[in-house]
Amino acid sequence: MMPFSHMKSFLDRFRKDTSGTVAVETVILVPILFWAFLATIMFFDLYKSRSAADKAAFTISDMLSRETVAINQTYLDNTLDLFNNLARSDGPTSLRVSVFTYSKKGNKYRLDWSHASGGAQTLSNTDLPTYVPNIPTLLSGERLILVETFGRYDSPIDIGIGALDINTFVFTRPRFAPLLAWERV
């Protein structure tokens, strides 16, 4: 019983002791506060980058929905350059544009075409079922333009979360033409 009573009295004295130095508290709290400050800056920058990517993807989607002539790979490559400028992206990005239609007969979506720039893979008809929960209800024969962008956010400050993906998924109906056509060469 003796060691327990000594330990209890030591803990009681330690708890009641109000003397000490600010240096100990500073050594403990300043690194935590500094990390919290850096994390706040990093999360603000992340949300700013995400917002810029979203706005750029909506701009690209709106631009494509207004096209009345067929587009080609050069157009798509330049569109990726425009996206990078609008999103202020300095890392590797890629872009995929797909046009698909809905058929009430068989209740199916069918891909008209899909092309990519910057290393993204094109879509196929077998990929469409995974997209169905994320696309709006279409009328039979209606077409939809899907613009997807893929990028990474590398934080300028390492707070322990690493690089994050910033991907967008934007769909638009064609506005001035019945469909966005791909130029066959």
Q: Please, what is the end-to-end C-alpha distance for the chain in angstroms?
A: 92
Q: What is the pLDDT of residues 10-69, one digit of tens each?
A: 888 888 877 767 777 788 889 999 989 988 888 898 899 999 999 999 999 999 999 999
**Which candidate, 123, 74, 75, 69, places its Cα nearest to that of 96?**
123
Determine the pLDDT at residue 96.
95
- DSSP letter at 133 equals G
- Closest by CA to 184, choosing from 115, 125, 88, 84, is 115
Whether the Cβ atoms of residue 131 and residue 144 lie closer than 8 Å to each other: no
| String of DSSP letters for 103-118 | ETTTTEEEEEEEEEES
What is the pLDDT at residue 2?
Answer: 62
Round the CA-based radius of gyration of the chain to a whole number and report it.
Answer: 27
pTM surpassing 0.75? yes
- Report the pLDDT value the prediction gives residue 65, as an integer from 0 to 100: 94
Short-list 165, 160, 162, 155, CA closest to 43: 155
pLDDT tens-digit readout, 73-82: 999 999 999 9
Q: What is the separation of C-alpha 29 from the centre of its chain, rounded to a whole number of angstroms?
A: 34
Whether residue 1 is predicted with pLDDT greater than 60 in this model: the reply is no
Smallest Cα–Cα separation from 151: which of 43, 7, 54, 75? 54
Q: What is the pLDDT of residue 183?
A: 87
Angle at Cα 104 formed by Cα 99 and Cα 105, nearest 5°? 110
CB 151 within 8 A of CB 166: yes
- Read off the pLDDT of residues 128-181 as tens digits, 9 standing for 90 and up: 888 888 888 888 888 999 999 999 888 777 777 778 888 999 999 999 888 888
